[in-house]
Amino acid sequence: MSQSSSTHNGLGRAESPRSPYRRKRKVLSCEHCRCSKLKCDRQQPCGACTRRGCELSCSFLATPTVPTTSTNVHRTTSNPSSSNVRPRKKPAASSAPLRQPVASSSGGRAQRSGADEIQDSQDSRWEAVLQRPCPEDDPVAATDTLSPFSVGPSISLPDIIDILPSRTSCDCLVSHFFNHISALFPILHGPTFQKQYVAFMQQPYEVDLSWLALLFSMCSLTLNTMEPSDPRLVDLWPKGSHFQEQEGVTLSRRLQQTAMVCLLQDQFFIRHKHSTFEALLMVIYNLSHNESVDQGWALLGMALNIGIALRCNVDSQGLNHLETERRRRCWVGILTLHTYQAILFRDIDMSFLLDIKTTMPADVNDVDITQEGISQASSSPTQMSVMMFKVRLFRISTQICHHISGPSRLEAEPLREFDAIIAEEQQRWDSTYLVDGAPNILDSSYAYWCILQTYAHQLYLLLHRPFRHSQSSCFLATSRDRCIASSAALLGIHRQIYEVPLLRPYLWLLRGVTSLKALHAAVALNSCLLDMPSSFESGSYREELNKLVLRMESLSRRSAICLKAHRILLQLQTQFGAANQQAADSGTRFESRIEDWTDMREWFGADLFNWNLDSVGNLPAV
C-alpha cells in the first residue's frame, strides 16, 4: 500500500483516511509520537517528548492526519532545588516500530542453495556484526541522544553546580574513579586533579566550565560502575525511598548530559583548552562503556583535532615536565579510543594516525611526575602500564585493520606474521600480570590481564575470518580452529568478569565494549560450529553460548547494549536449533539465513528488527 493511501495510528495499524464513517477511537498516542510512528506511554508529557525536549507541545488532542512540517521546540530546563540530585523517574522508553523487509525490484530475494549460499550466509552474519550502525534511521536513537547539539538554552552556573551530587557523594565518586577506573584510562594526573578539585570546592563559582564538564562526566562514569545498593551512595537517593537500578542509570545519564552542557556553554567548538581535551576524552570513554562505541564517533574526530590544535602530540616550548606529561597522556588517550572504533567496526583505515609523530608518556606513577622532572621508570607495573600496553595494541590493531581492508587479507603469510605479533604481546602480559601463570590475588593485575586478552582474541577473529570456512577457496583448518579457540576465550573472559569475586569491581565493563566483543565472539563461534563435521563435539561450546545469553539478559537491566545483544543471541539459539532439526530430518546441512531475517548494519537498534520468523528462522512472505 502506498504512503499516500494510508496512515498509521499510534499502534502501527493502517487506517484509510477516506472513510467518512470511520468510528472515532480513543487517542492512544500524542501528536508527536503519532507523526514519528513511536509507541507512546500516554504520560503528560510522554517519555518520547520528554527526551526530545518537546514537553510543552505534547498533546493528545485528536487532529486530522495530514503531512506535518517540523517545528523547532526548545528544551526547557528545570532548576534543581538542592545540591543532592533527586531526579524525577522518567517514563519507560518508547520502542520503535518493527522494520519491515524491503522487497527488491524483482519481487524479493531469490532463494539459493548449496555451498555458495552457505558461504554467503556465513559471510553476511559475520560481516554484519562488524558494520557501523546508521542511527539516522532510528527515530528513537535520533531523539534519545547525548549529543551536545540538543541541550537547548543556556543554564546558569549556579543551576549547573546544583545538579552535582553532594560534596560527600562527589568525594566518594572521585575516589572510586582513581582507585578502580583510572588505571584503565589514565589520562589524568591524580595530584593535579586533586588540587583542582579542592580549589573548586572552595570557590565553586570561579570554576572553568570545561573542567566542570570533566568532573560531571567522571561522576557519571563512576556511578555506572557501582551498585545502586552501595551504602556509600545513600546520599544520592531520596530518603526513605527504595532505590532501583534504573534510577542510577537515569542519574548517570543526567550527569553526562550536564557535562555536555558545560562544554557547549564553554564554546568548546572554538575555544580549545587542555581541560576541554580532557573533558571530551572522558565523555567519549564514558559513552563507549555505557551507551555505545558509535555514539562517540563524531566527538572523537573533534577531540583529535583539538588535541592537534593544542599540540598535545608534540612537546611545546615553555611547558614544565608535569604539563608536558599531562598532554602526552591525553594524546595516547585519543589513540586508544580509536582502537575501539578500529576493532569493533573496522570500516575505516586509521593508519594515518601512525604517521603523526608523537612522544609517548613515561611509564611511571603519578607521584613520580613533578614540575621539575620525572623519576626513573619503575621495573614494576605502574599506573600507566595498562595504557602503555593499549598503545601498543593501537599500533598493532591499526596495522591489522589496514591489512584486512586490502587485497592482502587473503594471503597466508601476513596472517602468520600478525599471529606472531599478537602472541608476543600476550607473552608480555603474562609476564607482567600473572604470577607463575596464575592470577595475582593481591591487586587488580588479573583484571588488567583479562581486559588486554579481549583485544588479542578480537584481533585473532578479524585476521582469521576469511580463512575459517570450509567452502572458502582460501580455507585453512588452523584458522577455523583459531576462531573457535578465540571465541571461546572471549566468552570465558566475559563469564569470569561476571562470576569471579576478584573481578567484581570490573563488572561494569560488561555493559559496553567487552560485551560487544562477546557478541562478536558468539556470532563467530556459531558460524564455525555450523561448519564443523557432524562428528565434532560442540556441547561445551553450546553451553558457553547459552550461559552468555543468560548473562546478557541479566546485564540488560542496566545496559541498552546488552539488551539488544540478548535479543540477537536468542535468535542465534533459535536458528541453531532449527538447523540441527532440519539436518536430522533431511540429512543435509542447514545454514541460518541471517541476511534474510535482519539488517545487522543497525544491530544496535534491535527494536527496528522484524523478529516474526517462521519455524526455521526465515521471514514470512510479504
Residue 278 has pLDDT above 60, yes or no: yes
CA–CA gap between residue 568 and residue 574 (Å, rounded): 10
Average pLDDT score over residue span 434-451:
94
Q: Give yes or no for a contact between 277 and 331, defined as CB atoms under 8 angstroms apart.
A: no
Least confident of 48-52, 198-202, 210-214, 505-509: 48-52
| Average pLDDT over all residues of the chain | 77
Please work out, in degrees rounded to the nearest 5, the angle formed at the alpha carbon of residue 359 by the alpha carbons of 398 and 212.
Answer: 90
Beta strand segments in 71-124, E? none
pLDDT of residue 596: 29
Q: What is the pLDDT of residues 210-269, one digit of tens each?
A: 999 999 999 999 998 998 788 888 888 776 555 566 778 889 999 999 999 999 999 998
pLDDT of residue 476: 93
Least confident of 64-78, 150-164, 439-453: 64-78
Least confident of 231-235, 323-327, 487-491, 616-620: 616-620
- Identify residue 448 by its one-letter amino acid code: Y
Average pLDDT score over residue span 108-112:
45
In order of 185, 588, 590, the CA distances from 118 in angstroms are 42, 12, 8
pLDDT of residue 119: 55
Average pLDDT score over residue span 316-327:
91
Look up residue 288 and give its three cell numbers. 563507549
- Strands 14-15 and 7-8, by their bridges, are antiparallel
Q: What is the pLDDT of residues 445-481, one digit of tens each?
A: 999 999 999 999 999 999 999 999 888 889 999 999 9
